[in-house]
Amino acid sequence: MSRNLMAFIVVLSFSFFSNAGDAKQTCTLPAFSENNVKIDEISDTGTVARETGISKASAFAFERVLGRLLLEEEDVFKLLSRIKSQDYLDYLHIHKETTLARRYIGEIDFCFDAREVRGLFRKNGMGWAELVSPPIVTMPIWKEASGAVVWNENNKWLNSWNEHSKTYDGLLSFVSIKPNIKIQRQLKEEAIFTEDPNILKIALQTADASQLLIVSAEIDHSATIPALRFSSRLFDENANLIATLLKEVHELNGTKNMAVLFEEFQYSLISELEKFWKQKNKISPETDFSLNVSFSAETLSTWLSFRETLSSMPIVRKVAPISLSESTGLIRITISGNIPQFITNLNSVGYKLTETEDMFMLSKK
């Protein structure tokens, strides 16, 4: 299991990473935000209800953000027991609100200050991750005696994964395909089940995804007691198999209904993927590493823009110029992590790092 998951991480680590917000005035780093938090608070007055409701919502949003970023669940509870979420809030955006005599109803986005939150983690010696993966399209399959089912909207197994793609808000970026007649004709159910590379490529292109996750389920009636079988397989952008991630078999003996088994398998699979993703992209507060890097900088504005880009990376602690000439520059970069993690961060902003005999060279991809 761990070998297969490490294969998953290695492939994703050298893919394109998305760490930018949308065009609106929202968090530029979505990992530090929690959106569309709903509030319905009752108190002695509408004003008190509003203050209390927003305070509770802020605490809830901050807990979600900490859980998304921190590697250890106990670290989340340690921090929440001794800090206030409002102290780390950058801003909030109110989508809608209604204040009544004794009630407040609202829907709010919360954006937390990335620099302050990172400082909090470093101060407490806690490792974290914040890189968001490239899009992974999930293709759930339900296998029946009559064949594979992919597009049946009334199938609970299929619906559970399609809903998951809409509601999941961790560091893995899941997407799903909303079918229409054209898509159903292109993406034949049996071809998806048999993992036809040409069909899987079309699915990847349709979803504009870099990875494809097939999650299949079927009831095996060959034994005395029927069994529910789960399987999950990950493919790269060229429809090549990366790994079989998780397989499970559960007897349908009446102790649990299938909906519960669906949910438990989904939770186990996603939890394992998140765990390994965070470990691979972990930023360690206690381990700093410095390296000299040469780069091309024809103008002062190019250098300033380049330095700002580097300084904005979560893994970069310090950028110190060593020398600058008319066309090149030499800088010393201190990072919290290792070279592969630094390369991953650079890829996310369109740069690549190459190593020569005596130094590193940085250039645009």
Binning pLDDT at 50, 70 and 90, where does residue 24 land?
very low
pLDDT of residue 300: 75
The residue-averaged pLDDT of 181-193 equals 91
Q: Which residues of 48-83 are buried (b: 16+ CB within 10 A; e: fewer)?
A: ebbebbbeebbebbbbbbbebbbbeeebbeebeeee
| % of the chain with per-residue pLDDT over 70 | 92
pTM for the model stands at: 0.72
Cα 306 to Cα 178: distance, rounded to the nearest angstrom: 40
Question: Which of 65 and 132 is assigned the larger pLDDT?
Answer: 65
Q: pLDDT tens for residues 100-157?
A: 999 999 999 999 998 899 889 988 989 899 888 889 999 999 998 888 899 987 888 9
Q: What is the 3-state secondary structure (H, E, C) of the chain?
A: CHHHHHHHHHHHHCCCCCCCCCCCCCCCCHHHEEEEEEEEEECCCHHHHHHHHHHHHHHHHHHHHHHHHECCHHHHHHHHCCCCHHHHEEEEEEEEEEECCCEEEEEEEEEECHHHHHHHHHHCCCCECCCCCCEEEEEEEEEECCEEECCCCCCHHHHHHHHHHHHCCCCCEEECCCCCHHHHHHCCHHHHHCCCHHHHHHHHHHHCCCEEEEEEEEEECCCCCCEEEEEEEEECCCCCEEEEEEEEEEECCCCCCHHHHHHHHHHHHHHHHHHHHHHHCCECCCCCEEEEEEEECCCHHHHHHHHHHHHCCCCEEEEEEEEECCCEEEEEEEECCCHHHHHHHHHHCCEEEEECCCCEEEEEC
pLDDT of residue 20: 31
Average pLDDT, whole number, for the chain? 85
pLDDT of residue 42: 96
Q: pLDDT tens for residues 212-271?
A: 999 999 999 888 899 999 999 999 999 999 999 999 999 998 888 888 999 999 999 999
Q: pLDDT tens for residues 324-363?
A: 777 788 888 888 777 777 887 788 778 888 877 667 888 8
**62 pLDDT exceeds 90?**
yes
320: nearest Cα among 3, 329, 90: 329
Residue 241, Cβ density class (10 Å: 0-12 exposed, 13-18 middle, ≥19 buried):
middle
pLDDT of residue 16: 30
pLDDT of residue 142: 93
pLDDT of residue 12: 43
Beta-carbon-side half-sphere exposure of residue 220 (alpha carbons within 13 Å)? 15
Instruction: Give every CB contact of residue 227 below 8 A, 6+ residues apart in sequence.
Output: 219, 220, 249, 250, 251, 252
Cα 216 to Cα 205: distance, rounded to the nearest angstrom: 21
Question: Which of 98 and 331 is assigned the larger pLDDT?
Answer: 98
Question: Which of 153 and 172 is assigned the larger pLDDT?
Answer: 172
Binning pLDDT at 50, 70 and 90, where does residue 168 land?
confident
CA 40, 44, 46, 51 dihedral sign is negative
The residue-averaged pLDDT of 25-53 equals 90
- CA distance to 161, 290, 299, 341, 343, per residue, from 305 (Å): 42, 21, 10, 22, 19
The residue-averaged pLDDT of 44-68 equals 96
The residue-averaged pLDDT of 301-328 equals 80
Structure tokens that stand for 198 in this block:
């040409």
Among 22-26, 200-204, 233-237, the least confident range? 22-26
